A and B are shown apart, each in its own frame.
Chain A
Amino acid sequence: MLELKRPPQNTRKEIVHVRRDGADLALHLWRPKNLKGAIFYFHGLQSHAGWLWEVGPQYANNDIALFVLDRRGSGISDGERNDIPDVDTVLGDYAAALAAVRGIIGDEVPLQLFGHCLGGSFLAALMQHRDFDIPYDSAVFCSTWLGKLHATLSEEQREALAKETGTQLWDAALKSTDFTDSVKYQHYIDNDDLAVRQLTKRSRATLLGLEKLYMEPERELPPVPMGYVSGLTDPIVDLDDAHKTFIEMTRGRGGIIKFPTNQHYLYYTDVRTSLVNWSSTYTLIPGLDHHG
């Protein structure tokens, strides 16, 4: 377990390329000296690994390696900006990255899958995908509106969206003030030239396809610990609806945790350290008997 009294670790930050279909995808890694567990982080719509520069070393100080894949078209990865490819491509990218992660950490190190906001929807879809077979030991959904399109669009609207092939841009209308109260982070978000703030309309069809994978699941999830974390309230997520989907998806055996903030991006609030420490513990505690 953790040594509780020791100096900060000399954490490494590496960027490994995962090559898929001619594209170099950037897999960022904060590697502790004594690796005892790992978290694979699915970033949301606009963020990327560069947002986690303070969090990565914090996890590493807890002996947890943090992996973040800049999704195709995000961060410093190749790929069309503002465009999410089809479901199989994007989930294939994640599966390839997770295979690379297992290659780095080995099979015995407990691995947590952690999805933030829209990243949680990618995570839920991947967990339900019939071809996904990388073992993991816990899963955390953070401030994710699971099943949002199913909750907010009628069946007819979803049918129309599923057929969308347009490349016109749809503005997500994200406001940095919803993410954090901190002026420092608001300024960063507002001026981040790698952030994705708009999506092609066909990308939204992909998002709907991802949702369908877990709203209409074809297989049981493995019996590993699963948690849902958020603030007390969230300015852009209907937490009640998200919880309902989470409970159904996990057959009522997941945990729900709330941290005392009303902002969306918990890592840019005062609860950051609490979230890092909680999810570090949640990574380590399950031990090695919960492989999915």
Chain B
Amino acid sequence: MSISDWQKHWKARRGRFIEECRQAHERLLADLKNPGAAQERVLDDIIGVSAASLHWKERGYDTLAKDATSFRSALPIMRYDDFAEVIERETRTKGGTLTCSPVLRWLKTSGTTGTPKRVPYTLHWLLTYRIPAMMAMWGTYLEHHPELLAHPYATLDTQTVREDVSDFVHGVEHQAVSNRHPQINTRDWNPPWYEAPWFGPDTPTSHEGRMYHRIRHLLGRNLHYISSINPSTLISLRDLIAVHGKSLVRDLREGTVEGEPWGEPDPAAADRLEAVLADPAFSLKDVWPSLTLYSCWLSASAGLYQSKLDAVFPGVAKLPFMSCGTEGVTTIPVDDTAHSQPLAISQAFFEFVPASVPLGELVERGEAVPTLLFDEVEAGEDYHLVMSQGNGLYRLWTGDIYHVDRVEGGVPWIHFLRRDGVFHSFTGEKITEAQVTQAIEQGVAGLGLDMGLYMCGPQWGEPPHYVALVESHGSDRGIDAALSGRIDEELKTINIEYASKRDSGRLGAIEVVTVPHDAINAYVESRRLAGNATQYKYKPFQQDIAFVADIVGD
């Protein structure tokens, strides 16, 4: 598509997009003011689109499930794998088996057994839930930062991509939720930049190749906003500008993209970029002084990137991305609060189970588990999330645990805390990710150090112990012993079983090694570039300590 064509689309779409996002945002705010009615409406809708399905009729749910009480008593809490058989049938009928809505696409995400999941993307789900959620979030962004649609080059959107699909399930595309190509209908996701050259399906599909095109097309422009899901994408963006600086300068100077003619030569922009690159510590604000906003996940392990983001975006405002997965949306930002968002009350029928309940074990045994509704959770507590979505995946135990920060106007404001389950247990200590995070943060702070990312894994031995690498500007082998001692003490305080095992000599002390700022990030990036860029995520908790040799070299 030529420069003028994609900009024509941008200009034609801009006003309608703003209005659609504003309306979706307002509808969400209205639902948040009347959360009980919104949840009732969602449940009625789920029952309405499911009751006449073969699955519901075969199980008798069509006659049993009428309201929140009967719905919860008649239908079991499900894991994705519990849906496998009915999903297999639905791949052939493409609607009518799990819900009474046409299946337009299968969403691909990693499963527990190595086989990618197939999450049904139905027409009803697209129209009623998924696209309105995106619109509502962008409505928030636009309300706070209208400049992101000031001109066609104002926004660089890395949240979604457009890639040709080569994987099909009985004729139907099987693709990541972030891939919005091809457009299914006129209500499918269609931002003004949908036809932009850095967004379209002609862009390289590799992480590095796609990033290069994004950067090249936006260099020399008054870019205001960079959107992302994972913070690591934003860090990577800066790093790739450094790595490919010379090529970018040359492309700008010559009016090319990777050597191929594109647009007019821009020697002034080339000179500016060259000057910025002269400082190895350049920020994205140096590259684009016009930057006013970035967005990405800011909670849980993503929050560990904050110091890096601060360095890359000095003085730039931030907004959070929604809490969501392929299976559905859980929270949508409605204001500029960074670390907490209201439950997306109109997106699913939500149930909660206290995190202390071993939900996985109970579901495995087929036991009925009482659940709480949205208006029964308490601030300060952690909960398993069980959600029923309009695509037919009912009472799905997501495996995610959320923390309720507060309850406002009857709506819980929550943030993703961690995946369910313990990180590791050598000898019954059942240490969780949250406990390790808390211990490391407190230990580092106690020595007055800063910290970036960390990684932790189990080291078997006599006795076994945990090993953690922590990024810090104060990295120094001389302080590692003291830091290890502090963090060990913090862990004992936080986890009494850990303390017991330590005291009895069944566990060795955690070994903490400080590593230079960016060492873990560089390791993560090297892994990302080697693998699937859209699926790879930074995970602080590893099941072995192979990363130690890779990062520290000993």
Contact = CB atoms under 8 A, between A and B. Distances in A.
Interface string B109-131: 00000000000000110011000
Nearest to A268: B171
Contact of B100 (A8, A13, A188, A193): A13
Given A7-B187, A50-B92, A194-B92, A13 B171 contact: no
Interface string A63-77: 000000000000010
Contact of A188 (B53, B128, B171, B187): B171
Contacts of B124: 10
Contacts of A192: 170-171
B187 A8 contact: yes
A56 B101 CA distance: 11
Contacts of B52: 14
B526 interface: no
A8 B95 CA distance: 17
B186 A13 contact: no
Interface string A82-107: 00000000000000000000000000
A76 B168 contact: no
A16 to B, nearest CB: 8
A259 interface: no
A13 B101 contact: yes
B103 interface: yes
Interface in A1-60: 7-8, 10-15, 28-30, 49-51, 53, 56-57
B73 interface: no
B168 A50 contact: no
A185 interface: yes
B186 A11 contact: no
Contacts of B215: none
Interface in B27-55: 49, 52-54
Interface string B79-95: 00000000001001111
A251 interface: no
A51 B171 CA distance: 8
A6 to B, nearest CB: 9
A187 interface: yes
Nearest to A53: B94
B108 to A, nearest CB: 16
Given A50-B93, A187-B168, A188-B170, A14 B127 contact: no
What is the size category of the interface that chain A forms with chain B?
20 to 34
Contacts of B53: 14-15
Contacts of A12: 49, 100-101
A186 to B, nearest CB: 10
A15 B97 contact: yes
Nearest to B127: A10
A78 to B, nearest CB: 13
A8 B185 CA distance: 7
Contacts of A51: 171
Nearest to B52: A14
Interface residues on chain B, size class: 20 to 34
Contacts of B128: 10
B200 interface: no
A13 B185 contact: no
A185 B93 contact: no
B96 interface: yes
A53 B127 contact: no
Contacts of B127: 8, 10
B220 interface: no
A188 B92 contact: no
B168 A13 contact: no
B265 interface: no
Contacts of B508: none
B93 A49 contact: yes
A76 B88 CA distance: 13
B102 interface: yes
Given A10-B123, A10-B128, A194-B92, A30 B102 contact: yes
B163 to A, nearest CB: 15
Nearest to B102: A13
A155 B95 CA distance: 45
Contacts of B243: none
B96 A13 contact: yes
Contacts of B49: 12
Nearest to B96: A15
A53 B103 contact: yes
B172 interface: yes
A13 B95 contact: yes
Contacts of A14: 52-53, 96, 100
A64 to B, nearest CB: 14
Contacts of B168: 184, 187-188
Nearest to A28: B96
A25 to B, nearest CB: 13
Which of A7, A11, A187, A194 has the most chain B CB atoms inside 10 A of its CB? A11
A185 B168 CA distance: 10
A285 B49 CA distance: 31
Contact of B93 (A76, A184, A187): A76
A50 B95 CA distance: 9
Contacts of B54: 15
B125 to A, nearest CB: 10
Given A11-B123, A192-B170, A53 B97 contact: no
Given A10-B124, A14-B52, A57 B102 contact: yes
Interface in A170-215: 184-185, 187-188, 191-194
A10 B172 CA distance: 19
Given A12-B100, A13-B102, A57 B123 contact: yes
A15 B186 CA distance: 26
A123 B187 CA distance: 37
Nearest to B89: A76
Contacts of B123: 8, 10-11, 57
A191 to B, nearest CB: 8
Given A7-B186, A12-B101, A13-B102, A53 B172 contact: yes
User: Most chain-B Cβ atoms within 10 A of its Cβ — which of A13, A57, A194?
Assistant: A13
Nearest to A48: B92
Nearest to B94: A53
A15 B187 contact: no
Contacts of A30: 95, 102
Contacts of A76: 89, 92-93
Nearest to A57: B102
Contacts of A56: 95, 102
Contacts of A57: 102, 104, 123
A15 B94 CA distance: 11
A187 B127 CA distance: 29
B93 A15 contact: yes
29 contacts: A7-B185, A7-B187, A8-B123, A8-B186, A8-B187, A10-B127, A11-B102, A12-B49, A12-B101, A13-B95, A13-B101, A14-B53, A14-B96, A15-B53, A15-B93, A28-B96, A29-B96, A30-B102, A50-B92, A50-B94, A50-B170, A53-B104, A57-B102, A76-B93, A187-B171, A188-B168, A191-B170, A192-B170, A192-B171
Interface of B: 49, 52-54, 89, 92-97, 100-104, 123-124, 127-128, 168, 170-172, 185-187
Interface of A: 7-8, 10-15, 28-30, 49-51, 53, 56-57, 76, 184-185, 187-188, 191-194
Given A13-B100, A15-B93, 13 more contacts: A7-B186, A10-B101, A10-B123, A11-B123, A12-B49, A28-B93, A49-B93, A50-B94, A53-B102, A53-B104, A184-B171, A192-B170, A192-B171
**A-B pairs with lowest CB-CB distance, top 5:** A13-B95, A188-B171, A15-B96, A53-B94, A8-B185
